[in-house]
Amino acid sequence: MASNSSGGSPDRQRIAQQRLRRIAGHLQRPVDGDSTIVAAECKAQGGKPDASSEGRTVPRRRQEIMKWNGWGYSDSRFLFNKKGQAEFTGKRYRLSGMIIPGLKDWMESTFGASLQHKIPATPILNSSAVQPPTLNDAFVDELKSTGIPFSHDAEDRVFRAHGHCLHEIFALREGKFGRVPDMVVWPSCHNDVVKIVELACKHNVCLIPYGGGTSVSSALECPPEETRSIVSLDTSQMNRILWIDEKNLTAHVEAGIVGQDLERLLNESGYCTGHEPDSMEFSSLGGWVATRASGMKKNIYGNIEDLVVHVKMVTPQGVIEKSCQCPRMSTGPDIHHFIMGSEGTLGVVTEVTVKIRPMPEYQKYGSVVFPNFEQGVACLREVAKQRCAPASIRLMDNEQFKFGHALKPQVSSIFTSFLDGLKKFYITKFKGFDPNRLCVATLLFEGDREKVLQHEKQVYNIAAKFGGLAAGEDNGQRGYMLTFVIAYLRDLGMDYYVIGESFETSVPWDRMFLEELGISLVKSHTAVTQTYDVGACVYFYFAFNYKGLSDPIHVYDEIVITSDGRKKEILANGGSLSHHHGVGKLRKKWMSQTVSNVGMGMLKSVKDYVDPNNIFGNRNLL
Amino acid sequence: MFNSNSSMPNTHFARFKTSKYAVKLDPMLKKRDDFEDMLEERRNSSDLRYALRCYTPVLYRGVTPCKSSVLKSMVLQSDHIHYVINQVSKETGRATDDVQEEASAILEEMAHRLQLSTVRFFAFTLSKIFKTLFRSICVNEEGIQRLQQAIQEHPVVLLPSHRSYMDFLLMSYLLYTYDLALPVIAAGMDFMGMKIVGEMLRMSGAFFIRRSFGGDKLYWAVFSEYVKTMLRNGFAPVEFFLEGTRSRTCKSLTPKLGLLNIVMDPFLKGEVFDISVVPVSISYERILEETLYARELLGVPKPKESTSALFKARKVLSEDYGSIHVYFGQPVSIRSMAEGRVNRCQFNLIPRHIPKRPDEDIHNFVNDSAYRLVRAQEENMVLKPWVLLASLLLQKHHQNQAPGQKRGIALEELTQQAVWLRDLSRQYGAFLHWPDHTSPSDVVYSSLSLHRGLVRISEGRLLNQAVIMLSCASYRNQALHVFIRPALLASAIHAASSNKKQEVFNSFSFLRNTFSNEFILCPGATVQDFEEACYLLVKTGVLQVNPQEVVVTERGHRTVAFLTALLEPFLQGYQVSQTNMTLLRYIEVLSSDLQKNTLAALLRLGAVRKINGYVAFNHPCVPVWFEWLEQQLNKTCKNKQAKVQHFSDSDISASMRKQLEFHTVMCIVRIFSLVAGISIRQIQSQTAYDFFHLFILPKIKLKRNEQDTRGEGTSP
Ligand SMILES: Cc1cc2nc3c(=O)[nH]c(=O)nc-3n(C[C@H](O)[C@H](O)[C@H](O)COP(=O)(O)OP(=O)(O)OC[C@H]3O[C@@H](n4cnc5c(N)ncnc54)[C@H](O)[C@@H]3O)c2cc1C
């Protein structure tokens, strides 16, 4: 273009251009091909500059797609429509746009809730109710010069001030905000995090890593006594897969990637991690590592500690990582175990190498109905004993089973419901199952087709020995399909004075049946969600109608979740403080009881060494 | 005592390492191998039989040589290429097959097709040609033996210096002669222009790389994998030129790191135990391209390589080009170079086949190694008496430039000075080939007669011309590496405001920094260089150094004067102040090489800054020059609103600014004067002209367009 105007014959021009290119080349020094990479250093560290954040789920401003005072996407929720029927809105899920006829009845009969008694949430986030930020000016100034984006907008801060414990959401619905972070930063790569941590140490600023915000242990709550400026370090923009190594079957991934993106992107290359916690839509790889998460299909793929090959974490003392990516090593205590479960108290996990597997060739769902919960547990025990657990095996008690039924969407095909009816008839009448006692196990098999079929047969044979009756693929599939929408249900309940919470523990096989506490207010469901050689993970769901109670959360906390009695009971019965949700601040008073005083001392000394000034001051665990 | 013949291949390098901290070993103690003239045998026996003789080189660990087609498929099937193909296909949305095809086309364009028959053809013809052109081709045969040993033990990389097109033919010719494995050679694509010759070169082991391929990932991948496959498997020694291109000035060019990065990779990633790098110094008594280079430096475009041009160059054949010295240096073990410098663990954390930008410590390591290797080349460059004569003649010439002075120098005076300089350079460790058995005046006379194209003995006096001056300068440049550190010190003493050691050091360090694009000065070695320079000058009685002061001795003045004069042309080039080129004293200032280096130095020192590929200036005086430039621009592009973006100097530190003040302003003026086209007519410096039209002008127009669209209301 412009060069034409410089005059001279075209030939001369060409020569001139050639020469100029050469000069330019010299001026730029090395002739290597990385000139483009140099320009965008941060985004190209791993040689994968394509990894634009397009196609990623989580934007910097979460409020663009997510609720500020409830679970999940803004466009997806349960509600009762004008006809009084329950409906699930949006387009994202299989259940989206469907009517759920049984839900109203179930809520009314189980909790005595009524559509007439509605208690809607505060509709919009009132920024003026949020404490103004306490900023550390020197920190902010230096941060500015790094070019790393940050914000002290009230909405941004409120979004990072909580996880999804009942009390946290309840407060938000009432428009109450406690101590919230003073600032949010969005690093986009490891080096950004290094810079932020350095600055935080220099200016004595409190950092709280934030992954997907799905914590259910008050881990993200800001300690109210914290006087320093609190900066929430949101990892969500560190979301690239840096490389996939097909030889060693590993992938090196930035820690902020959320589960659904990780799986989808790996699937594009024909792989998966198989790590599927129920929160995988929103929870992040770094969050999993930081909380020792567990996925539904751990029987095949393992829990996070089995999946992690290598971790890089930025701490106030510097970066910690192993020098190799070996399958196992005998080099003293595994330093990964200081990192896994550290719950953001030691540093920020920035990059993780995880195991990957080729995507399964074949998947098959299944379900088995047992006459009662005890039989079901015995069956699961046997399956574990024979080490033939499918990818996932979950046992729901009778209440859960009924709840599952209440969530059945309206089906257009009469034929399907007819078949359903037939099955119900068959199960309850001919086999003599008591509809108020029977329970169901859902199964998921994965692998190559032949092996799956063989495996399925083996499991059904075991089930039969415990009175279990195969109840079809559909029941199984529906169970897993509902996994993601169930979390939305709590918000509906809260609209009608019903509050609920779940918690989990792990217990040895011989201690499976905890004594009922017999608190009349409380409806409790139980489910066994994971099995191991030596025990299982047990889930409890509690919910109740609080209409007429003055301070329901307090009552709820006292009575159910954190009451000394309840926890003591579990711990006394040989259960654990947590199988996978972690300790956070919610359960930390039982830590020393769980890991012994010496154990606490060990953890404390690690904290004191790594972070003497408590920069990572979320005060979880210890 | 230090023994360069030790069987340990690393001794040579070990010396480097210790020298970094300990006192420099006395360069006069450098022991070098003796030379044999390999042409002698060619003159006494049949070339045909030589070309057809049985050729059975020893190979690395007895590998069987690999057919070039097999090599190609190894490359294309490598994990690395697969990975990059997938990546490119993902990024561009092209089908993988499509990308795969492109990869194989790239490889096809690049790959060598080494054939013994072609090599034999070259062996025959080159024998004939060499015998007519050169008096002798001298090789250190001990170096050949070391190389042979090295080839058997580890993959080998050959790093010859690059002064002539001849270099790589000569290398292959020698290796064939000594029955060593033939190398594959990285050659610039320009050769491909010569159809037949290009293919012939390909069949004698050359592979061709494009000069620039910017961010072309696929090209880089194919290229690097190709080189690494050859190296990993030890199929053949890999040969390339660290300097990237032929040095037109006979001064070593600052090393280019691309290929060195690639060849170090297999070691760093633990794919081979070690790699031996062999610096080879090729010194020509007269360079074939002598005047061609000088013209090129003056901006007369380089003729495109073409076969017909080659034949036109046939008249070259009738001339006497003296002798060539080829010195195969000590093989350097990459392993020992890396020892204690790089932590190879970092490579465990990413799969080997996935390309990764080298981390800073690796980059620094490769960069340092490159400098050391170029210095190793320099050290073993053989200097002919003519090199010393050229230095003296040039200095004399400049001293005589004052009007009314007679030009030239008396022959006796020249001889007397040459003997002085001979002794001085020997003391500084030069690898000087001065025939001690002949009388100095004969030596001088025969040197002058070999270079009669450049100097003429007319009534005992000499003449000049720009081309000739630059050619002479090239010869002088060959000796620069011997004197550079002492010369920097001498100039620093000259420039410093007092004798205080600290001041002299500061001045030294500034000069060294300024010239680090011009000469081979190892990055970060300022203190060592300073110490080395002091050591040499003290040793030769030029200086007295105590902890506070640096003083020139009475008898040292002559040396200091010589050394200062040696750097003078470069200093002028970097600070020349004339907007009017007629006042110019040193022809070197017109050399595009010098201009290029100056600009690079300015960029590096932050005096000018490149923004989106064009240059902006960081200096308080700049606005003045901009006004002036704008006037010039207005003439050229008729646009009254042309503006070049410029920047405040706030980020230049105060002390830096002081030093830069003078140099920078002068440089800017000079560049501007070139840029604005005043001097173009006078000196035809195309470089500057091109620079202006291609770099600056389009940007100015772009800027203008932006402004137009922004402030539409105000523009007339
Ligand atoms: C509906 C629902 C279902 C769930 N299902 C499961 C399940 O099946 N299995 C399971 O294991 N858990 C489950 N959880 C709990 C939760 O999803 C996990 O604890 C998860 O690992 C948290 O990840 P996150 O990215 O959301 O972390 P966050 O909630 O953002 O943070 C959790 C803690 O980890 C720290 N942290 C986060 N990222 C980093 C990082 N990069 N470096 C250092 N520290 C960090 C935070 O500071 C905080 O202390 C569920 C939660 C909900 C609400």
Digit-coded pLDDT (tens) for B144-155: 999 999 999 999
Phi, psi of A33 (to 5 degrees): -85, 15
pLDDT class of A555 with cuts at 50, 70, 90? low
Lowest mean pLDDT across A298-307, B33-42, B98-107, B441-450 = B441-450
**What residues have CB less than 8 Å from A262, skipping those under 6 apart?**
A241, A253, A273, A285
Classify each residue of A207-223 as buried b or exposed e, where b means 16 or more C-beta atoms within 10 Å of its C-beta. bbbbbbbbbbbbbbbbb
Contact B209, B116 (CB under 8 A): no
| pLDDT, tens only, B355-382 | 888 888 999 999 999 999 999 999 999 9
Per-residue confidence (pLDDT) for residue A575, from 0 to 100: 85
Catalytic residue chosen out of the listed positions A539, A541, A546, A556: A539
Instruction: Please determine, for residue B635, whether its predicted confidence score (pLDDT) is greater than 60.
Output: no
B215 shares contact with chain A (CB less than 8 Å): yes
Mean pLDDT across the stretch A162-174?
Answer: 93
**Ligand 1 site, residue A294, Cβ cutoff 6 A:** yes
Tell which B residues from 338 to 357 touch A, by Cβ distance under 8 Å: 345, 348-351, 354-357
pLDDT class of B198 with cuts at 50, 70, 90? confident
Give whichever of A520-524, A566-570, B87-91, B157-161 has the largest mean pLDDT: B157-161
Closest Cβ–Cβ partner in B90, B355, B695 for A47? B355
Per-residue confidence (pLDDT) for residue B644, from 0 to 100: 30
Lowest mean pLDDT across A12-21, A575-584, A597-606 = A12-21
Q: What is the largest CA-CA distance in chain A?
A: 100
Integer Cα distance of A143 and A151 in angstroms: 11
**Is A472 known to sit in a ligand binding site?**
no
B555 shares contact with chain A (CB less than 8 Å): no
* Percent of chain A residues topping a pLDDT of 90: 62
CA torsion sign, B38 to B42 to B47 to B50?
negative
Tokens 């932590």 belong to B343
Tell which B residues from 254 to 313 touch A, by Cβ distance under 8 Å: 256-258, 261, 301
Exposure of B329 in the CB half-sphere (CA atoms within 13 A):
31
Residues of A in contact with B676 (CB under 8 A): none
pLDDT class of B672 with cuts at 50, 70, 90? very low
Nearest to B275 by CA among B9, B68, B14: B9
Structurally, what CATH architecture does the domain formed by B71-286+320-380 represent? 3-Layer(aba) Sandwich (3.40)
pLDDT class of A556 with cuts at 50, 70, 90? low
Integer Cα distance of B343 and B362 in angstroms: 9
How is residue A131 written in tokens? Answer: 């404490």
Residues of A in contact with B186 (CB under 8 A): none
A52 shares contact with chain B (CB less than 8 Å): no
Mean pLDDT across the stretch B672-697?
Answer: 37
Per-residue confidence (pLDDT) for residue A39, from 0 to 100: 27
Amino acid at B44: N
CA distances A16 to A26, B248, B579, B596, B702, Å, are: 15, 18, 23, 15, 20
Active site residue A539: yes
Mean pLDDT across the stretch A338-352?
Answer: 97
Per-residue confidence (pLDDT) for residue B174, from 0 to 100: 94
**Ligand 1 site, residue A349, Cβ cutoff 6 A:** yes
Integer Cα distance of B208 and B190 in angstroms: 9
Best of B81, B357, B362, B702 to disrupt the A interface (most A CBs within 10 Å) is B357
pLDDT class of A443 with cuts at 50, 70, 90? very high
Lowest mean pLDDT across A382-396, A599-613, B304-318, B479-493 = B304-318
**Is A348 known to sit in a ligand binding site?**
yes
Q: Write the secondary structure of A186-221 as one string of H (helix), E (strand) and C (coil).
A: CCCCHHHHHHHHHHHHHHCCEEEEECCCCCCCCCCC
- DSSP class of B549: B
- Coil, strand or helix at B266: helix
Best of B86, B240, B350 to disrupt the A interface (most A CBs within 10 Å) is B350
Residue bearing the bigger pLDDT, B289 or A444: A444
Nearest to B174 by CA among B280, B60, B307: B280
- Coil, strand or helix at B673: helix
Mean pLDDT across the stretch B498-515?
Answer: 86
Classify each residue of A4-40 as buried b or exposed e, where b means 16 or more C-beta atoms within 10 Å of its C-beta. eebeeeeeebebbebbbeebbbbbbbbbbbbbebeee
Lowest mean pLDDT across A42-56, A449-463, B597-611, B618-632 = B618-632
**Is A215 known to sit in a ligand binding site?**
yes
* DSSP H or E segment with residue B665: helix B654-676
Instruction: Please determine, for residue A116, whether its predicted confidence score (pLDDT) is greater than 60.
Output: yes
Best of B349, B352, B633, B692 to disrupt the A interface (most A CBs within 10 Å) is B349
Residue bearing the bigger pLDDT, B390 or B319: B390
Q: Which of A159, A160, A186, A214 to mutate to test the pocket of ligand 1 (most atoms within 8 A of CB)?
A: A214
pLDDT class of A510 with cuts at 50, 70, 90? confident
Per-residue confidence (pLDDT) for residue A36, from 0 to 100: 28
Per-residue confidence (pLDDT) for residue B649, from 0 to 100: 34
Do B697 and A2 count as a contact with CB atoms less than 8 A apart?
yes
Q: What is the largest CA-CA distance in chain B?
A: 86
Residues of A in contact with B258 (CB under 8 A): 30-33
Per-residue confidence (pLDDT) for residue B210, from 0 to 100: 84
Amino acid at A404: G
Phi, psi of A219 (to 5 degrees): -70, -30
Integer Cα distance of B59 and B182 in angstroms: 10
For chain B, domain boundaries:
71-286+320-380, 385-400+407-618
B698 shares contact with chain A (CB less than 8 Å): yes
Tell which A residues from 352 to 381 touch B, by Cβ distance under 8 Å: 353
Tell me the average pLDDT of chain A: 85
| pLDDT, tens only, A352-367 | 999 999 999 999 999 9
pTM equals 0.79
B644 shares contact with chain A (CB less than 8 Å): no
Instruction: Please determine, for residue A562, whether its predicted confidence score (pLDDT) is greater than 70.
Output: no
Do A26 and B701 count as a contact with CB atoms less than 8 A apart?
no
**Ligand 1 site, residue A234, Cβ cutoff 6 A:** no
Which atom, in ligand 1's list, is nearest to the CA of A294?
11
Q: Which of A58, A76, A197, A279 to mutate to test the pocket of ligand 1 (most atoms within 8 A of CB)?
A: A279
Instruction: Please determine, for residue B633, whether its predicted confidence score (pLDDT) is greater than 50.
Output: no
Phi, psi of B116 (to 5 degrees): -60, -35
Mean pLDDT across the stretch B111-117?
Answer: 88
- DSSP class of A73: B
How is residue B595 written in tokens? Answer: 């201009």
pLDDT class of A51 with cuts at 50, 70, 90? very low
Phi, psi of A295 (to 5 degrees): -105, 155
A410 shares contact with chain B (CB less than 8 Å): no
